[in-house]
Structure 1
């Protein structure tokens, strides 16, 4: 499973999708999130600005990544 490293306390869902390389732009992230295509910890998430923290798991387009703190 791919890992997205946190540089701060949290990262927003749209930014995380871009960093993981699952979308090309913020506009694309907004569309797929609002369309209900993204799951956060197993549940559909429709808020692009949802804050993700260490241990959260995101799934989109049959791919998953996890959020890890920089310890």
Structure 2
């Protein structure tokens, strides 16, 4: 995920088996989903997604990728 910290846009590389439905969400530190960056089917083994993060307040979040029973997360820092 880049850039870090982010302000307006963030690029996420989504890796998953071909044909998998994937959701990328932003979760605050209390575990509440505050937004969705992307949802779709991964056509190959990976896909670059550029997402708008301007609606999130400054702070530290988790970017969570969900696909079926799998879940991966990474820190996401937003600055204004």
Using structure 1 for the length normalisation, give the TM-score.
0.42
- Pick the structure with more helix per residue: 1
Point out the structure with max Rg over C-alpha.
2
